[in-house]
Amino acid sequence: MRPQQAQCGAEAKECRVTENSDGEASEELASFVAMRVAPLAKAFAQTPLMRIRVRTPEGWVTLEKSAHKSSDAARPTVARPGHVPRIQEGEPGRAYDTINAETVGVFRSASHAAEFGERIEGDRVLGYVEALRLRNPVTATSPCWFVAQAVEDGQAVEFGEVLFVVERGEAPPQPEAPAPAENGAAAIEPPRI
């Protein structure tokens, strides 16, 4: 979907949009922020994670919580031996997997919402996309750890839209050390479109 204007949610108001080489945030970037980043930031705020990196249809999004704001959210967990967070060379943040919409329609949450860090089996119904008077179940397709739901109940979704963020590694998602970056800033890379 292409909204008429960028409308960041409360959780995304502190976003700092990385400007492009011309020094101007493009219309596409504003749209990208409203369409992909705002819902993701809202979902991210509900998790104890300090950093999240997700591939959206238009490009990568990396969100970080500042240290002073995340103190109540950050929950110490023990990493399993041998678990290596998947951080791509030269890219900040850990890349999480996503479950994306195959159907265009209206998203409906599952009656029993998954929680952060919960182990999810492949056939677990995480939500539905309603279209043509049918409720199309959205499943994880393979076992994973639940991280966040990136869309809200009743929200219109298009093909490829990120519905859920999950961790398909062996270990559950781990809160990471806060970044030594500017306070309250979330870095968003320009969409690679």
Partner 1 sequence: MFGKVLIANRGEIALRVIRACRELNVKTVAIFSEADRNSLHVRYADEAFCVGPGQSARSYLNVPNIIGAAEVAGVDAIHPGYGFLSENASFAEICTSHGIKFIGPPASAISLMGDKANAKQRMLEAGVPVIPGSGIIESLPVAKKFCSEAGYPVLIKATAGGGGKGMRIVGRDADLGAGLAAASGEAQAAFGNAGVYIEKLLVHPRHIEVQVLADEYGHVIHIGERDCSVQKPSHQKLLEEAPAPHLDADVRTKLCEAAVRAARSCEYTNAGTLEFLVADDGRFYFMEMNTRIQVEHPITEVVYGVDLVKWQIRIAAGERLTIRQEDVRARGHAIECRINAEDPDNKFTPAAGKLGSVLMPGGPGIRVDTHIYSGTEVPPYYDSMLAKITASGRDRAEAIARMRRALAEIEVRGVATTTSMHERILNHPSFIAGRTHVTWLREEVLARQAVGA
CB 188 within 8 A of CB 132: no
Instruction: Return d(Cα 165, Cα 41) in angstroms, integer.
Output: 12
| Total residues binding partner 1 (CB under 8 A) | 18
- Footprint of partner 1 on residues 89-148 (CB under 8 A)? 103-106, 129, 131-132
SS3 at position 12? helix
Smallest gap from residue 60 Cβ to partner 1 (A): 15
Shortest distance (Å) from residue 40 CB to partner 1: 17
| 4 binds partner 1 per the rule CB under 8 A | yes
Stretch that binds partner 1, among 38-46, 80-88, 115-123, 158-166 (CB under 8 A): 158-166
Which class for 133: exposed (0-12), middle (13-18), buried (19 or more C-beta within 10 A)? exposed
Q: Does residue 7 belong to the site contacting partner 1 (CB under 8 A)?
A: no
- E strands, 18-124, are 51-55, 60-64, 95-100, 105-109, 119-120
Query: Cβ closer to partner 1: 24 or 89?
Result: 24
Residue 36 contacts residue 187 (beta carbons within 8 Å): no
| Residue 2 binds partner 1, judged by CB under 8 A | yes
| Contact of 65 with 94, CB cutoff 8 Å | no
Query: Residues in the site for partner 1, rule: CB under 8 A?
Result: 1-2, 4, 57-58, 103-106, 129, 131-132, 156, 158-161, 193
